[in-house]
């Protein structure tokens, strides 16, 4: 009995201690909020954007370096993501456009990046996201650019040739697909809805587990969930968030063919990002076709020791047999060696555009 009483007293003491800590946290959070409001006034006077990807990256790295546990770095980042979102809204209200509708993976990435204290604008297409940012209806946009299984998202890449928008940041998102529906089990399902890209990411699982089921394309995974919510004989491949929204059962979890199913998303805006200390630069260029031309282009980077993390080609929509090359490299465009390499590359190209320098994801 004495032991139970002692434990109860200890529990009461610990809860009182947590209450004191919570009071200190609230006080400090509001101090941070007041400092953020003042920063917002200064940025407004200088006509600087409220969101600073370079500063965000530096804050996360600093917090990770100071974290001694028991909270994991991922937990600290999630907590501070919402703190920075709330403080950002005190500096200036922000609107973020994304490839919608709600509950898509792009929506989840947008929430992960910007938190719950900003306004969100769902768009029907990648082009619409770019347009809303270009005309100022949205401060930033979030679009997918490549998947580790299915490769590049061509619509996004093509838009960078047409648009003057910059890449401000990147986010890597581990994608988990689930089979959702109102059926008792997957055996009674006759058709499955989802996006074509998602079918590609789950191709082997579908061939093995549902070889006779008809695959029906939808504009988004969220739209697929909405359709299936009205039909007991159908299922969809979407996120478990969609299951909660539309009252669907999870018929099978993690059905993607690869455990390393990661999609890279880009945050786009009208202004370039300042150096953060750990950056990437993306460019797109075209050249006159001749033997060895791509080798000559890339030699500008090799002789300066610049690591290229991606090279992708896309055919021009304006001229047959003409290609654009997309290159990602380590380093910020303001660094001397990247600046020198781009200057040399420019002299060899028929077209060159720096898409942006931004913190590594």
* 3-state SS assignment for residue 3: helix
Is 265 an annotated catalytic residue?
Answer: yes
* 3-state SS assignment for residue 56: helix
Q: Under 8 Å CB-to-CB from 83, ≥6 apart: which residues?
A: 29, 32
pLDDT the model gives residue 335 = 93
User: How many Cβ atoms are within 10 Å of 256's Cβ, its own excluded?
Assistant: 20
For residue 273, CA distances in Å to 48, 148, 173, 331 come to 11, 26, 21, 12
Catalytic entry in 263, 285, 301, 325? 263
pLDDT the model gives residue 318 = 62
b/e code 204-217 from CB counts within 10 Å (16+ = b): ebbeeebeeeebee
User: How many Cβ atoms are within 10 Å of 43's Cβ, its own excluded?
Assistant: 16
Per-residue pLDDT of the chain (361 residues; tens, 9 = 90+): 666 667 778 888 999 999 999 999 999 999 999 999 999 889 888 888 888 899 999 999 999 999 998 999 989 999 998 998 998 888 888 999 998 888 888 999 999 999 989 999 999 899 999 999 999 999 999 999 998 877 888 889 889 988 899 999 999 999 899 999 998 888 889 999 999 989 999 999 999 999 999 999 998 898 899 999 998 889 999 998 899 889 999 999 999 988 888 999 999 999 889 999 999 999 998 887 677 677 778 888 988 999 999 988 888 766 665 788 899 999 999 999 999 999 988 888 888 899 999 999 8
pLDDT the model gives residue 4 = 62
pLDDT the model gives residue 92 = 84
The whole-angstrom separation of Cα 271 and Cα 169 is 11
Asked if 346 and 340 touch (Cβ cutoff 8 Å), the reply is no
Length of the chain equals: 361
Is 263 an annotated catalytic residue?
Answer: yes
Which H or E run includes 105?
A: helix 105-114
Which H or E run includes 132?
A: helix 126-134
CA angle 185, 187, 192 (to 5 degrees): 90
Q: Which residue has the tokens 């769902």?
A: 122
The whole-angstrom separation of Cα 223 and Cα 230 is 12
Q: Which residue has the tokens 């299984």?
A: 149
Helix axes 105-114, 73-91, angle to 10 degrees: 80
pLDDT the model gives residue 306 = 93
The whole-angstrom separation of Cα 19 and Cα 16 is 5
Structural domains in the chain, sorted by start: 17-91 (1.20.59.10), 94-172 (3.40.190.10), 178-260 (3.40.190.10), 272-361 (3.30.70.260)
Strands 140-147 and 95-99 turn out to be parallel
The whole-angstrom separation of Cα 344 and Cα 10 is 69
Q: Under 8 Å CB-to-CB from 264, ≥6 apart: which residues?
A: 144, 145, 146, 147, 170, 171, 172, 173, 361
Catalytic entry in 265, 285, 301, 325? 265
């Amino acid at each position: 009995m004495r032991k139970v009483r002692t434990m109860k007293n200890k529990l009461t003491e610990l809860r009182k201690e947590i209450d004191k800590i919570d009071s200190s946290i609230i006080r400090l959070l509001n101090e941070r909020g007041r400092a953020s409001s003042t920063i917002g006034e200064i940025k407004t006077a200088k006509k600087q954007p409220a969101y600073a990807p370079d500063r965000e990256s530096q804050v996360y790295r600093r917090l990770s370096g100071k974290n001694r546990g028991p909270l994991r770095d991922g937990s600290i980042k999630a907590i501070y993501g919402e703190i920075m979102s709330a403080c950002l809204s005190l500096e200036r209200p922000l609107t973020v456009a994304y490839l919608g509708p709600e509950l898509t993976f792009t929506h989840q990435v947008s929430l992960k990046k910007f938190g719950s204290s900003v306004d969100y604008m769902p768009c029907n297409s990648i082009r619409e996201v770019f347009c809303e940012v270009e005309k100022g209806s949205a401060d930033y946009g979030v679009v997918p650019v490549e998947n580790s299984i299915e490769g590049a998202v061509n619509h996004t890449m093509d838009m960078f040739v047409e648009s003057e928008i910059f890449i401000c940041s990147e986010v890597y998102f581990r994608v988990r697909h689930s089979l959702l529906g109102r059926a008792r089990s997957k055996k009674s399902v006759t058709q499955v809805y989802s996006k074509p890209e998602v079918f590609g990411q789950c191709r082997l699982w579908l061939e093995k587990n549902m070889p006779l089921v008809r695959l029906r394309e939808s504009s988004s995974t969220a739209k697929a969930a909405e359709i299936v919510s009205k039909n007991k004989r159908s299922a969809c491949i979407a996120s478990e968030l969609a299951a909660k929204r539309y009252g669907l059962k999870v018929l099978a979890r993690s059905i993607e063919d690869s455990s390393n199913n990661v999609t890279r998303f880009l945050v786009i805006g009208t202004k370039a990002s300042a150096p953060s200390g750990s950056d990437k630069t993306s460019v797109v260029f075209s050249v006159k076709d001749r033997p060895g031309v791509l080798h000559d282009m890339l030699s500008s980077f090799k002789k300066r020791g610049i690591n290229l993390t991606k090279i992708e080609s896309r055919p021009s929509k304006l001229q047959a047999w003409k290609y654009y090359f997309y290159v990602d490299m380590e380093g910020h465009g303001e660094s001397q060696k990247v600046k020198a390499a781009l200057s040399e590359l420019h002299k060899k190209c028929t077209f060159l555009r720096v898409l942006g320098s931004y913190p590594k994801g």
